[in-house]
Amino acid sequence: MREKYPFVPWKDLAGIRDKLIHAYFGVNLKVVWLSVKEGIPEAKPDIKHILDEMSLESEISPQGKKNRLI
């Protein structure tokens, strides 16, 4: 996934995750909220693009046929 979507700041995202998971009470909630408020809208087109591609790929099986739920 990292190779397919190199425009995603994977290391930054992992760093944020690590800080949130391991810092517990040392997390600055204002910084987290600012990141959510500004970062998610900025990344929304890229996130949508990735999710759309993943959805398309999951509809087609390796044999090139559409997957069925039944």
Report the catalytic residues: 17, 22
DSSP 17-55: HHHHHHHGGG--HHHHHHIIIIIHHHHHHHHHHHHHHHH
Contact between residue 16 and residue 35 where contact means Cβ atoms under 8 Å apart:
yes
